């Protein structure tokens, strides 16, 4: 196979995989936004199963490896897009062939059975229903570590699936810092007894809906290159960089829920829309990692939009729409969107305590993978850790160990990305303010207060978004911030913000 | 290849083709119901192109033919589903291989270019823009007749693509009857000067929307096995028999537009939903022909729902929703939904004159294919025929020969299905009333007036719907009505209805 033939082969594979994947994305969008008839699920499942199976089958053909090996031998002649495509394709291919196909099939069947059981187990708050499934799932994950291979800790092998470059050494350091600084801060805040005025009442959904275009525009989400849907559980999904869709769920009794979830999803969408258009044909038009994607959504949602500067532009909009805010001032709004309190449910957690929820899951996953604990011990250990780090104890497994879908779906090693991403965001924002990454320093508060985030988004586009998967998170951080991953910025940011809000 | 292997092969091909086709259906639904970003069209087109190309490529693999030939040799051992699948697959395959692949590719490119030109040509009412495209398209169609082969008239070969079993001999007879009976009737009606009171004014779209569930239920469209969307140009589309979707377009100033178009699309949907579930894996879950599909939508829309009996149940609903109908009675409503008048635009034509529009197109297509006329003569001949049959003459090509998209899309031989379908409907309804097709005779007016069409739909399910493509239109008609296609019922139905409305 010549170099040219190998590139042609990869590109034509990419075209097929993209079409097959986009079709699956559309099935998901369709189901989430408009629902599907109950009775159509079986055939629909068969269609989606065929599309994903075909995508995998095509990827796993031996000519994929042959093309990769051919191009690896021509490495110095490749441009950066080709090189990254070879790197990513080769990495994914080699991981996939490392797993015995019959084991992979059995595992897919297992998780397909486990998810509906998890739904019921959570409803009934009955961990024993999930116990045999979790045992088999974690047993497979431990074997997966061996098939994938690892240098230091077996859990490193799993982390790679979600956060390339992350490992136990790095995460131990990160979480140690959170344990030392953030867990005590949360407890101090509880002790202080300070409680900001909350945003309560009923807020007309039509009026909430009218705010959305402004929020999307503020973040820089280009609505002409996507669309906004309404769903039960909000998400962002990409059909192409020119068709990036976000979704929202409105709650009459919770105005801030749709508002901040829209900002969050719009943050994801801006990343997707700002990627270099050349990435698409190389299948590199995705986030550098799960964590890097999450960093963008959370820095828009939290660092920028839960700031006092944003409260300043948000308040007049809220006043215009809702009488409720008649007597509110900017400081009150800033405080109300930053209520910090220990809670049991991760997805409802505030900015300060969120990563502590992740820490619980990280410690348990790591110990399960290294064999230090057994699946049967999970409920007790989970509750102990919540008590230790958050100061509250779940009273049942539905609000404890059964709350997340991830494990029943076979996703182990995924949770840390959420916390790492948040920390990436602080490190990037810090560099942006300081004028690293080829800019004169962006005054984010000034931009937010002026209602024009374009300098922020321009910096992120230039330093993060445009690269897609061309660069690893580590390369992105080093080039943009001048250093490797440093969670210190995140801890400092949280400490300063919440100390000022609660303890001064 | 053994018989079992051949069946397995066809079924596995079916599964792949169904998934690929359903994905394309979803792309169309997505675009029509919620629109797609302009800038995403190129990549989206590439994805859809890949999916349809892959579907065709898989179908055209030589093992398809091998499986068909193997099963043809085992014909007596096949069940009726297998036999029909072999018949349909073999027929489609042999037609496809009859076309030289490079000619087919050139033609696909040609129509892809022609459609946007047609949009502009129609806007500017400039036939000369389309002339070179139509020349090439009809030239290809003439060669297609030779590739496909035919016994009597070359046009028969094209008709087969849309209406299996239809031919020039049958259509000449059909249209001769329309020319002799319906064209003069329309002229008599015009001469009578009788003009029913029209439904005019502004009708709140929200209130129109509220009527739709009742309309769908009335026709027997099961909304739990589908969904209803809003689009610019209404259609019915099938993801599976348990996910059949219809769409509507509301006009504030035309209440009857959405109402009857919903009844029409729901009629298509009922056909799809009532098919035998075993048909799906054999890819036989589609209408017996274009015309048979149209027969179902039109018999619900026109024969049943433009009846006096339906006016009786519709009027109270309209009164409840709109003050406009305060002084209306059932007879006025019946007359208002049956206004017959010559018009220039096919898709706006009334029940009486509709088939005359088709007759114009049939005569022109047939003459073009047989070489009796040239493409350049189309505008003049088109206008002459409108003047002759409908008594009015288009003043420009936009309201004349350029009004339909079909020819620019390469669809020649399609139009007759619309008229044949309408005639099938009359023949079926006649048999249903008389108690043929294994029932005691259905009193359709009684059913409609009682607001319960279930005896009608049960008869259609048993005699038409459940068969899908298992039986040809001819077989369906013979079994259900005891005779071959007989357009006499249609002409009698129209004559009686419109004579009573206008000339008595």
Q: Count residue pairs from A and B with Cβ separation < 8 A.
A: 100
Q: Does B45 touch chain A (CB under 8 A)?
A: no
Contact (Cβ atoms closer than 8 angstroms) between residue A29 and residue B33: no
Q: Residue B19: its chain A contacts at CB < 8 A?
A: 46-48, 50-51, 54
Give the DSSP per-residue string, A200-247.
-S---HHHHHHHHHHHHHHHT--GGGS-EEE-SS--EEEEETTEEEEE
Quickly tell me which residue has 């110095």 as its tokens: A76
- Per-residue pLDDT tens over the stretch B115-153: 999 999 999 999 999 999 999 999 999 999 999 999 999
Q: How many residues does chain B have?
A: 504
Q: Do A47 and B22 touch (CB under 8 A)?
A: yes
Contact (Cβ atoms closer than 8 angstroms) between residue B359 and residue B178: yes
pLDDT attached to residue A63: 96
User: For chain B, what percent of residues have pLDDT higher than 70?
Assistant: 100
- Mean pLDDT over residues B38-47, rounded? 93
CA atoms of A63 and B355, how far apart (whole Å): 57
Among chain B residues, the shortest Cα distance to A281 is held by B43
Joined together, the tokens standing for residue A374 give 């057994």
* Rg of chain B in Å (alpha carbons): 23
Q: Does B19 touch chain A (CB under 8 A)?
A: yes
Q: Does A206 touch chain B (CB under 8 A)?
A: no
Task: pLDDT band for B35, please (50, 70, 90 cuts).
Answer: confident
Q: Residue B44: its chain A contacts at CB < 8 A?
A: 22, 239-240, 243
Q: What is the DSSP letter of A495?
A: H
Distances (CA, A) of A159 to A145, A152, A307, A422, B245: 10, 12, 32, 16, 43
- Beta partners for residue B246, in sequence order: B228, B236
> Smallest Cβ distance to B19: which of A30, A39, A47?
A47
- Mean pLDDT over residues B256-285, rounded? 97
Instruction: From the candidates B265, B272, B280, B335, give the one annotated as an active-site residue.
Output: B265
Angstroms from B283 CA to nearest CA on chain A = 13
Task: pLDDT band for A129, please (50, 70, 90 cuts).
Answer: very high
* Residue A248: strand, helix, or coil: strand
- Per-residue pLDDT tens over the stretch B298-345: 999 999 999 999 999 999 999 999 999 999 999 999 999 999 999 999
pLDDT attached to residue B34: 86
Q: What is the DSSP letter of B305?
A: T
CA atoms of B477 and A125, how far apart (whole Å): 59
Angstroms from B362 CA to nearest CA on chain A = 38
CA angle B491, B493, B499 (to 5 degrees): 95
User: For chain B, what percent of residues have pLDDT higher than 90?
Assistant: 98
Q: What is the separation, in whole angstroms, between the first and last Cα of chain B?
A: 68
CA atoms of A247 and A257, how far apart (whole Å): 12
Cβ-based burial of B135 (10 A; exposed 0-12, middle 13-18, buried ≥19): middle
Among chain B residues, the shortest Cα distance to A19 is held by B47
Short-list B489, B410, B33, CA closest to A34: B33
pLDDT attached to residue A438: 74
The alpha carbon dihedral of B410, B413, B419, B421 has a sign of negative
Joined together, the tokens standing for residue B280 give 């799906």
CA atoms of A345 and A401, how far apart (whole Å): 10
Among chain A residues, the shortest Cα distance to B51 is held by A19
Angstroms from B427 CA to nearest CA on chain A = 33
Q: What is the DSSP letter of A152?
A: S
Cβ-based burial of A424 (10 A; exposed 0-12, middle 13-18, buried ≥19): buried
- Per-residue pLDDT tens over the stretch B337-391: 999 999 999 999 999 999 999 999 999 999 999 999 999 999 999 999 999 999 9
Quickly tell me which residue has 């709004």 as its tokens: A333
* Residue B488: strand, helix, or coil: helix
CA atoms of A304 and A447, how far apart (whole Å): 10
Q: Do A242 and B39 touch (CB under 8 A)?
A: yes
Q: Does A36 touch chain B (CB under 8 A)?
A: yes
Give the DSSP per-residue string, B44-71.
HHHHHHHHHHHHHHHHTSHHHHHHHHHH
- Beta partners for residue B240, in sequence order: B243
Edge-to-edge order in the sheet of strand A236-240: A228-230, A243-248, A236-240
CA atoms of A166 and A174, how far apart (whole Å): 11
Joined together, the tokens standing for residue A34 give 């408009």
Q: Residue A12: its chain B contacts at CB < 8 A?
A: none
Q: Does A124 touch chain B (CB under 8 A)?
A: no
Q: Do B36 and A226 touch (CB under 8 A)?
A: no
Contact (Cβ atoms closer than 8 angstroms) between residue B27 and residue B44: yes
pLDDT attached to residue A279: 97
Q: What is the DSSP letter of B196?
A: P
CA atoms of A362 and A167, how far apart (whole Å): 11
- Per-residue pLDDT tens over the stretch B82-98: 999 999 999 999 999 99
Contact (Cβ atoms closer than 8 angstroms) between residue B32 and residue B235: yes
CA atoms of A171 and A363, how far apart (whole Å): 10
pLDDT attached to residue B192: 95
Joined together, the tokens standing for residue A243 give 């068709």
* Rg of chain A in Å (alpha carbons): 23
CA atoms of B9 and A359, how far apart (whole Å): 51
- Per-residue pLDDT tens over the stretch A330-362: 999 999 999 999 999 999 999 999 999 999 999
Among chain B residues, the shortest Cα distance to A238 is held by B40
Q: Do A37 and B280 touch (CB under 8 A)?
A: no
pLDDT surpasses 90 at A437: no
Residues 265-284 of A with CB under 8 A from B: 280
When scoring A35, A206, A242 by the number of chain B Cβ atoms within 10 A, the one with the most, hence best to mutate, is A242
Short-list B273, B267, B263, CA closest to B294: B267
HSE (side-chain half, CA atoms, 13 Å) at A81: 15
Residues 351-370 of A with CB under 8 A from B: none
Q: What is the DSSP letter of B282?
A: G
Contact (Cβ atoms closer than 8 angstroms) between residue B268 and residue B259: no
Contact (Cβ atoms closer than 8 angstroms) between residue A346 and residue A223: no
pLDDT attached to residue B469: 98
Q: Do A34 and B225 touch (CB under 8 A)?
A: no
Contact (Cβ atoms closer than 8 angstroms) between residue B247 and residue B229: yes
When scoring B21, B28, B43 by the number of chain A Cβ atoms within 10 A, the one with the most, hence best to mutate, is B43
Q: Does A328 touch chain B (CB under 8 A)?
A: no
- Per-residue pLDDT tens over the stretch B450-461: 999 999 999 999
When scoring A240, A269, A272 by the number of chain B Cβ atoms within 10 A, the one with the most, hence best to mutate, is A240
Among chain B residues, the shortest Cα distance to A23 is held by B23
Contact (Cβ atoms closer than 8 angstroms) between residue B494 and residue B298: no
Q: Do B54 and A26 touch (CB under 8 A)?
A: no
Q: Residue B229: its chain A contacts at CB < 8 A?
A: 34
Contact (Cβ atoms closer than 8 angstroms) between residue B31 and residue B41: no
- Per-residue pLDDT tens over the stretch A37-94: 999 999 999 999 999 999 999 999 999 999 999 999 999 999 999 999 999 999 999 9
- Per-residue pLDDT tens over the stretch B149-206: 999 999 999 999 999 999 999 999 999 999 999 999 999 999 999 999 999 999 999 9
CA atoms of B154 and B150, how far apart (whole Å): 6
Give the DSSP per-residue string, B224-281.
GGS-EEE-SS--EEEEETTEEEEEE---TT-HHHHHHHHHHHHHHHHHHHTS-GGGGG
Cβ-based burial of A117 (10 A; exposed 0-12, middle 13-18, buried ≥19): middle
Angstroms from B12 CA to nearest CA on chain A = 10
Q: Do B16 and A50 touch (CB under 8 A)?
A: yes
B265 classed as catalytic: yes
Contact (Cβ atoms closer than 8 angstroms) between residue A501 and residue A449: no
Joined together, the tokens standing for residue A123 give 């409803």
When scoring A19, A34, A230, A247 by the number of chain B Cβ atoms within 10 A, the one with the most, hence best to mutate, is A19
- Per-residue pLDDT tens over the stretch A280-328: 999 999 999 999 999 999 999 999 999 999 999 999 999 999 999 999 9
Contact (Cβ atoms closer than 8 angstroms) between residue B85 and residue B93: no
Distances (CA, A) of B266 to A152, A406, B289, B299, B336: 63, 41, 17, 11, 22
Q: Supply the pTM of this predicted model.
A: 0.93
CA angle A271, A277, A279 (to 5 degrees): 85
What's the mean per-residue pLDDT of chain B? 96
Angstroms from A162 CA to nearest CA on chain B = 27
Catalytic residues of A: 265
> Smallest Cβ distance to A43: which of B20, B54, B280?
B280
CA atoms of B17 and A504, how far apart (whole Å): 66
CA atoms of A311 and A331, how far apart (whole Å): 8
pLDDT attached to residue A35: 87
Q: Does B405 touch chain A (CB under 8 A)?
A: no
Q: Does A112 touch chain B (CB under 8 A)?
A: no
Joined together, the tokens standing for residue A388 give 């230790």
CA atoms of A166 and A160, how far apart (whole Å): 7
Short-list B231, B199, B150, B161, CA closest to B410: B161
CA atoms of A152 and A132, how far apart (whole Å): 29
pLDDT attached to residue B5: 98
- Per-residue pLDDT tens over the stretch A140-196: 999 999 999 999 999 999 999 999 999 999 999 999 999 999 999 999 999 999 999
CA atoms of A225 and B312, how far apart (whole Å): 49
CA atoms of A61 and A39, how far apart (whole Å): 35
Among chain B residues, the shortest Cα distance to A34 is held by B227
User: For chain A, what percent of residues have pLDDT higher than 90?
Assistant: 98
Task: pLDDT band for B438, please (50, 70, 90 cuts).
Answer: confident
HSE (side-chain half, CA atoms, 13 Å) at B443: 6
Q: Does A27 touch chain B (CB under 8 A)?
A: yes
CA atoms of A472 and A468, how far apart (whole Å): 9
CA angle B421, B425, B428 (to 5 degrees): 130
Q: Does B243 touch chain A (CB under 8 A)?
A: yes
Q: Does A32 touch chain B (CB under 8 A)?
A: no
Short-list A82, A96, A118, A97, CA closest to A10: A82
Q: Does B206 touch chain A (CB under 8 A)?
A: no
């Amino acid at each position: 196979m010549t170099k040219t033939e190998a590139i042609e082969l990869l590109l034509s594979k990419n075209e097929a995989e993209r079409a097959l994947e986009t079709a699956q994305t559309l099935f998901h969008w369709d189901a989430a936004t408009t629902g599907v008839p109950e009775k159509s699920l079986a055939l629909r499942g068969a269609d989606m199963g065929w599309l994903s199976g075909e995508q995998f089958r095509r990827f796993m053909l031996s000519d994929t490896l042959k093309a990769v090996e051919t191009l690896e031998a021509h490495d110095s002649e490749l441009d950066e897009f080709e090189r990254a495509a070879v790197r990513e394709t080769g990495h994914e291919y080699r991981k996939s062939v490392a797993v015995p196909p019959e084991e992979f099939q059995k595992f897919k069947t297992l998780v397909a059975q486990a998810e509906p059981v998890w739904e019921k187990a959570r409803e009934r708050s009955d961990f024993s229903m999930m116990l045999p499934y979790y045992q088999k799932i974690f047993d497979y994950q431990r074997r997966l570590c061996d098939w994938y291979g690892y240098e230091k800790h077996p859990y490193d092998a799993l982390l790679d699936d979600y956060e390339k470059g992350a490992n136990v050494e790095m995460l131990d350091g990160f979480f140690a810092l959170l344990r030392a600084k953030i867990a005590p801060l949360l407890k101090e805040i509880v002790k202080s007894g300070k409680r900001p005025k909350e945003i309560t009442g009923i807020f007309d959904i039509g009026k909430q809906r009218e705010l959305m275009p402004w929020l999307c525009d503020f973040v820089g989400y280009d609505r002409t290159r996507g669309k906004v849907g309404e769903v039960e559980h909000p998400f962002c999904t990409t059909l192409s960089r020119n068709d990036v869709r976000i979704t929202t769920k409105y709650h009459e009794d919770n105005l801030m829920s749709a508002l901040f979830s829209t900002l969050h999803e719009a943050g994801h969408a801006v990343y997707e829309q700002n990627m270099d258009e050349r990435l698409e044909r190389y299948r590199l038009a995705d986030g550098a990692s799960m964590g890097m994607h999450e960093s963008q959504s959370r820095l828009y949602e939290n660092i920028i939009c839960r700031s006092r500067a944003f409260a300043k532009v948000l308040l007049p909009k809220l006043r215009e729409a809702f009488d409720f805010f008649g007597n509110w001032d900017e400081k009150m709004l800033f405080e109300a969107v930053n209520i910090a309190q220990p809670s049991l449910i991760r997805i409802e957690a505030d900015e300060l305590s969120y990563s502590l929820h992740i820490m619980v899951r990280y410690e348990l996953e790591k110990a399960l993978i290294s064999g230090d604990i057994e699946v049967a011990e999970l409920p007790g250990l989970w509750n102990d850790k919540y008590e230790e780090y958050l100061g509250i104890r779940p009273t049942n497994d539905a609000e404890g160990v059964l709350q997340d879908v991830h494990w029943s779906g076979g996703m182990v090693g995924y949770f840390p990305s959420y916390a790492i991403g948040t920390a990436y965001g602080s490190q990037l924002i810090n560099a942006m303010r300081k004028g690293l990454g080829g800019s004169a320093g962006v005054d984010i508060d000034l931009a937010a207060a002026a209602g024009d985030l374009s300098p922020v988004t321009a910096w992120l586009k230039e330093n993060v978004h445009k690269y897609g998967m061309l660069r690893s998170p580590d390369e992105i951080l080093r080039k943009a911030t001048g250093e490797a991953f440093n969670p210190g910025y995140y801890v400092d940011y949280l400490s300063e913000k919440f100390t000022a809000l609660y303890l001064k």
